[in-house]
Amino acid sequence: MRIGIVGAGPSGSYLALLLARGGLSPVLFHDPKAGEKPCGGGVTAKAFDEFPELSGLAIPGVRVDRARIVSPRGRAVEIESDRMFEIFAREAFDGRLRGLAREAGARIVPSRVARVGPGPRVGFDGGEETFDLLVGADGAFSIVGRSSGRPLPKARLCPAVGALVRGVNPAEGAWMRFYPGIRGYLWVFPRTDRASVGIVAFPGDATAADLRRRVAEFLRRSLPGSEVLGSYGWVIPAPGADGRPLVPPLEDGVALVGDAAGLVDPITGEGIYYALASARLLAGAILRGRPQEYPALLEETLAPELARAGAWAERYFKPAVLEAILAGARRSRRVRALIADLASGRQKYSTLPDRVGASPAGRILARVFRTFLAA
Ligand SMILES: Cc1cc2nc3c(=O)[nH]c(=O)nc-3n(C[C@H](O)[C@H](O)[C@H](O)COP(=O)(O)OP(=O)(O)OC[C@H]3O[C@@H](n4cnc5c(N)ncnc54)[C@H](O)[C@@H]3O)c2cc1C
């Protein structure tokens, strides 16, 4: 089976790796001029637990064991947990996964895909190729998705902007800062030599220019010694309350994975895990000779968690809810532990109500999470 994959981000490279390991010879189109993906680069403990390849990447990363969370009214709480997540420069992360795919036998074509047509066929600088299955792993503005009549709906694209800054001490951990009127949050994710300071909001909450002003103000007030090295802007697709991909993930010999399908946690903006997870589901279906099962696999495995997140996202970002949760966290070690487990992904949304109900501190947890869980 001839398989073409457009885009060598986490979803495309991981898919190529798994297919090559399974004995196929996928063709991976990598745009060498694209530059680093604008991203916080945070990879959760959940992703490390589920994808063994991540532990052997051998690239520099900053392990985050503590984070400062600041409520919409400016009240801070510190949470701690062993390796909540690890932060990588995306250039290094994506490059290493692409290297693993190449070593496993994938053919990397260093060219941007310029055209996608029926066949499915792709046109690029240097030629044209036709495939049995074409995979769009080319992010939120996927040419594969657009050319096959499946662009992501604009109304579900969350603006995300930020800056790379020098002068943030990685030992101080990460930050997450909430604001009234913004369904999203500002983050400080330290890397080895710089930090990514960015903010995401639901569509309509703020313009990219508003968000840039907030980042600038945050840097001035909270990280006065930092120096801006460059800025970035992109979008994060957010699935709705059904947790399904934002567009059909497989049609007419064209599959979509990761951001191209709109698979991102709408509460945390975590997309790297979902990029890898959707790639793994598609790889498994292809290697079993049944790619047509991919949509059902997404529905069974990823949609339930994303649906919880989609249903809770609206109420979670209400200032009163966040204030209550973070006030509870200041008082209770168990609430702090639970929040840390949510941030690391070790606590699934689907089993959160059980944990809240079963905890010896059930009453305080239940009070804190009541509004949030009532979906
Ligand atoms: C500002 C920001 C911060 C984020 N922070 C985090 C975070 O900390 N943790 C987390 O888990 N998620 C984060 N996300 C989400 C995460 O970046 C994405 O969900 C994830 O990268 C999706 O992976 P992907 O492989 O599907 O797509 P992408 O990473 O977008 O990769 C797409 C690839 O396709 C390539 N491409 C595009 N068009 C073509 C073409 N025509 N031809 C060839 N190649 C092409 C691109 O160059 C790129 O390499 C963040 C997103 C943003 C915007």
Which domain CATH number covers 179?
Answer: 3.30.9.10
CA separation for the pair 313, 288 (Å, rounded): 36
Contact call for residues 138 and 146 (beta carbons, < 8 A) = no
Number of domains in the chain: 3
Look at residue 355 in the predicted model and tell me its pLDDT.
83
Residue identifier of the C-alpha nearest atom 15 of ligand 1: 271
Which atom of ligand 1 lies at the shortest distance from residue 257's CA? 26
Q: How far is the CA of 278 from the centre of ligand 1 (A)?
A: 14
Residue identifier of the C-alpha nearest atom 44 of ligand 1: 7
Q: How far is the CA of 51 from the centre of ligand 1 (A)?
A: 18
Kindly report, residue by residue over 49-100, the tens digit of the pLDDT.
Answer: 999 999 999 999 999 999 999 999 999 999 999 989 999 999 999 999 999 9
Look at residue 362 in the predicted model and tell me its pLDDT.
60
Of the pLDDT bands very low, low, confident and very high (cuts 50, 70, 90), residue 356 is confident
Q: How far is the CA of 340 from the centre of ligand 1 (A)?
A: 25
Distances (CA, A) of 217 to 211, 222, 257, 259: 10, 8, 36, 30
The reply to whether 206 and 162 lie within a common domain is: yes
Q: How far is the CA of 37 from the centre of ligand 1 (A)?
A: 6
Q: How far is the CA of 355 from the centre of ligand 1 (A)?
A: 33
Between residues 106 and 242, the one the model is more confident about: 106
- What is the chain's length? 375
Look at residue 239 in the predicted model and tell me its pLDDT.
87
Mean pLDDT value across residues 302-325: 91
Which atom of ligand 1 lies at the shortest distance from residue 189's CA? 8
CA separation for the pair 333, 353 (Å, rounded): 18
The reply to whether 49 and 77 lie within a common domain is: no
Q: Are strands 250-251 and 174-177 parallel, antiparallel or unpaired?
A: unpaired
Kindly report, residue by residue over 292-309, the tens digit of the pLDDT.
Answer: 999 999 999 999 999 999
Residue 321: both structure tokens together: 């809810």
- Using the predicted structure, report yes or no on whether residue 107 has a pLDDT greater than 70: yes
Mean pLDDT value across residues 35-44: 95
Alpha carbon 343 to chain centroid, angstroms: 12
The reply to whether 39 and 97 lie within a common domain is: yes
3-state SS string over 304-342? Answer: HHHHHHHHHHHHHCCHHHHHHHHHHHHHCHHHHHHHHHH
Look at residue 363 in the predicted model and tell me its pLDDT.
66
Mean pLDDT value across residues 244-250: 96
The reply to whether 76 and 99 lie within a common domain is: no
- Give the end of a domain, one of 286, 309, 332: 309
The reply to whether 286 and 233 lie within a common domain is: no
pTM: 0.97
Which atom of ligand 1 lies at the shortest distance from residue 114's CA? 41
Residue identifier of the C-alpha nearest atom 6 of ligand 1: 40
Of 37, 86, 298, best ligand 1 pocket probe by most atoms within 8 Å of the beta carbon: 37
- Using the predicted structure, report yes or no on whether residue 375 has a pLDDT greater than 60: no
Of 39, 144, 276, 302, best ligand 1 pocket probe by most atoms within 8 Å of the beta carbon: 39
Mean pLDDT value across residues 18-45: 97
Alpha carbon 304 to chain centroid, angstroms: 17
- Using the predicted structure, report yes or no on whether residue 370 has a pLDDT greater than 70: no
Q: How far is the CA of 360 from the centre of ligand 1 (A)?
A: 41
Look at residue 315 in the predicted model and tell me its pLDDT.
84
Lowest average pLDDT, out of 7-16, 192-201, 264-273, 329-338, goes to 329-338
CA separation for the pair 79, 12 (Å, rounded): 34
The reply to whether 208 and 83 lie within a common domain is: yes
- Give the end of a domain, one of 237, 270, 286: 237
Q: At what angle do helices 303-316 and 294-301 cross, to 10 degrees?
A: 50
Look at residue 58 in the predicted model and tell me its pLDDT.
93
Q: How far is the CA of 7 from the centre of ligand 1 (A)?
A: 9
Mean pLDDT value across residues 5-18: 98
Q: How far is the CA of 129 from the centre of ligand 1 (A)?
A: 24
- Using the predicted structure, report yes or no on whether residue 42 has a pLDDT greater than 70: yes
Kindly report, residue by residue over 118-167, the tens digit of the pLDDT.
Answer: 999 999 998 999 999 999 999 999 999 999 999 999 999 999 999 999 99
The reply to whether 42 and 69 lie within a common domain is: no
Place of tokens 């509460």: 267
Look at residue 171 in the predicted model and tell me its pLDDT.
86
Look at the alpha carbons of 108, 109, 111, 117 in this order and tell me if their dihedral is positive or negative: negative
- Mean pLDDT, the chain, whole residue set: 94
The reply to whether 176 and 245 lie within a common domain is: no
Percent residues over pLDDT 70 in the chain: 96
The reply to whether 41 and 108 lie within a common domain is: yes
The reply to whether 143 and 159 lie within a common domain is: no
Look at residue 200 in the predicted model and tell me its pLDDT.
97
Ligand 1, CB within 6 Å, residue ranges:
6-12, 29, 31, 34, 37-42, 112-113, 137-139, 143, 160, 162, 189, 198, 234, 236, 258-260, 264, 269-273, 275
The reply to whether 31 and 149 lie within a common domain is: yes
Lowest average pLDDT, out of 212-226, 243-257, 349-363, goes to 349-363
Q: How far is the CA of 162 from the centre of ligand 1 (A)?
A: 15
Q: How far is the CA of 258 from the centre of ligand 1 (A)?
A: 8
- Give the end of a domain, one of 204, 237, 270: 237
Domain limits at 335? 315-373
**Domain CATH number, residue 249:** 3.50.50.60
The reply to whether 161 and 197 lie within a common domain is: yes
Residue identifier of the C-alpha nearest atom 52 of ligand 1: 39
